[in-house]
Structure 1
Amino acid sequence: MSTSSPNLTAHCTCGTVAFETRRAPIIATACYCHSCQTAGRQIEQLPGAPPVLDADGGTQFILYRKDRVTCIRGAEHLVDRRLTPESPTRRVLATCCNSVMFLEFSKGHWLSLYRARFAPGAPPLEMRVMTRDRPEGVTLPGDVPNYPGYSGKFMGKLFLAWIAMLLRR
């Protein structure tokens, strides 16, 4: 993991909300879990919402340590959405244009920013996870590793990022 990566900015579709990231991400991945697919379909039904799911049913994320992400504009337009009131995962949307900005696991030390919110040139996809839940009939390319669950590499990168944060959340 390089520490000299440039800062990147993630914007909502209309540009009202923006987040700045510092340094290198933890990982860039696409998730195919049932929760991401369900939430993606729900969010895409909101008025004017941009696409969330890729054509193959995956959702691409770039994961960053929480201490390396800052809302630099439009925080007053952010709202939480959960699949159920008890869900430990929240998706945060910009109400100005119904763009989903990030996903947060409440007990996690990272934020999963939606890759679509970044300009071209954002870090490339490194792996696909939870592919066992992909839609029926979808064949995934072999351009990056495809894991049926969360791979050891994925979990290892999250753990190393947590250690670097001195086990803080």
Structure 2
Amino acid sequence: MAAIECACGTVCLEAAGPSMMTTICHCTSCRTAGQAFDAQSPVAPIVDTAGGTAVVLWRKDRVRCLRGSERLAGHRLTPESPSRRMVASCCGTPMFGDFTKGFWVSIYRGRVPAAPEPSVRVMTSDVAEGTVFPDDGLPRFRGRPAKFAIKLLTTWVTMGFRNPRIAGVPD
């Protein structure tokens, strides 16, 4: 069980069971949102030197908001965007990304105590030419590797192809 809190402790999420995986995403959407959050947030940056955003993926049915849900503010890059990113408005802490059409939630790794180390960098085709990646030994993929897709699919199968809501989090 992981307790995920904002910087001031007003918002607290709970994630049960093991996470699905930890990745660093370089897609344009994650980089754009992450850079905007980092420019406004007083907490540690969520974007690394290569523009990647480290996230821990959990099934939505294993995450719930214990307190402070009224302080979660959703941000979308465009009104039509299927991804919303939730920030604790009390202290400006970016908390998680929610692909609303999916069954998983991407919790910013810096919010997760004793978070697993990332295993892969994905969507590196979206970064600017000449981007220098850290020498961290992580495999880099231009898109999403087959192992990533298979993990998502097998998890969804075990969930009975459901797309649950995150308990206690406003729509």
Asked whether the two chains share a fold, i.e. TM above 0.5, the reply is: yes
2:27/2:124 contact within 8 Å kept: yes
Alignment partner of 1:20: what SS?
strand
Name the TM-score, length of structure 1 as normaliser: 0.90
Q: Which sections of structure 1, spanning at least 5 residues, go unmatched?
A: 1-6
Aligned to 1:56: 50
**Residues 140 and 44 (structure 1), Cα distance of their counterparts in 2 relative to 1, 3 Å cut:** closer
Q: What is the deviation of 1:18?
A: 1.1
Q: What is the deviation of 1:52?
A: 2.0
Name the TM-score, length of structure 2 as normaliser: 0.89
Residue 31 of structure 2 aligns with an amino acid whose one-letter code is Q
* 1:92-136 deviation line (CA, Å, top 9, x unaligned): 1100111111111111000000001112x2111111101122343
Which of 25, 35, 44 is matched with 2:29 structurally? 35
Give me the identity figure in percent.
Answer: 43
Alignment partner of 1:154: what SS?
helix
CA distance in 1, matches of 2:105, 2:131: 30
Aligned to 1:25: 19
CA distance in 2, matches of 1:140, 1:50: 18
1:32/1:59 contact within 8 Å kept: yes
Q: Which sections of structure 2, spanning at least 5 residues, go unmatched?
A: 164-171
Q: How does 1:14-163 map to 2 (within 5 A)?
A: 14-46=8-40, 48-119=42-113, 121-135=114-128, 136-141=130-135, 143-163=137-157
CA distance in 1, matches of 2:68, 2:117: 27
Pick which of 60-69 and 36-45 moved more: 36-45
1:19/1:72 contact within 8 Å kept: yes
**Residues 47 and 68 (structure 1), Cα distance of their counterparts in 2 relative to 1, 3 Å cut:** closer
CA distance in 2, matches of 1:85, 1:144: 34
